[in-house]
Copies of this chain bind each other. A is one copy, B any other.
Amino acid sequence: MAQQHQISKAVISRLPRYYRYLRVLIEEGVERVSSEELSRLMKATASQIRQDLNNFGGFGQQGYGYNVKSLYNEIGKILGVEQAHDLIVIGAGNLGRALVRYKGFSTHGFKFRAMFDIDDNLCGKSINGVKVYHLNGLLNFVMKNKVDIAALTIPSEDAIKVSKQLYSLGIRYFWNFAHTDLELPSDAIVKNVHLLDSLLELSFEASRSKEH
């Protein structure tokens, strides 16, 4: 997959959506799909879809469309879902607990291995089979266990501090729900989920429409 180097961020960000739609098609028993059919379904142009999928060598056959299952598997491979990804969650509050309880992640290879919190009442408990440790035990855990991705569901200042600690322990992938941008070296990959930001965009649209 040498050509992956040239793939734009925009294409990458669209892959999970392809993956999601293909899964629906598989569940509905659809075996082949044309770029035109995908286009109607996904509300993107057929040429955009062909272009996107061509980035990965092109799975389509002129006139026959795409084999849904192999396209799904190929995109899954590209997205890395064939490999197991071990996650820890920093923060065992409502959001952290919602994450480890959500069923959709484990089917794609994401395994929650531990949660960490500073609340003594939570430490020692298990949430959906995932044990909550005291944050003091982070170093020890990361030294003894494979950790690929750290999810941060703690307040902003704590997130900045703890993410630096996690970085120094070798973790490079961060799923950040804290309401701040992290301050990490450039080889750290951070995916932010700023819930308030997305809500503010909605409220912007809502108040704008009231003006007219």
Contacts and interface: CB of A to CB of B under 8 A. Distances in A.
11 contacts: A4-B208, A15-B201, A16-B197, A16-B200, A80-B200, A80-B203, A80-B206, A85-B206, A105-B199, A109-B203, A191-B202
Interface in A196-212: 196-211
Copies of this subunit: 2
Interface of A: 1, 4, 12-13, 15-17, 19-20, 24, 42-43, 78-81, 83, 85, 93-95, 97-99, 101-102, 104-105, 108-110, 148-149, 172-173, 175, 179-181, 189, 191, 193-211
A206 B20 contact: no
Nearest to A82: B207
Given A105-B196, A191-B199, A197-B20, A204 B12 contact: yes
Contacts of A13: 197, 201
Contacts of A42: 181
Contacts of A173: 202, 205-206
Nearest to A205: B189
A102 B108 contact: no
A85 B210 CA distance: 12
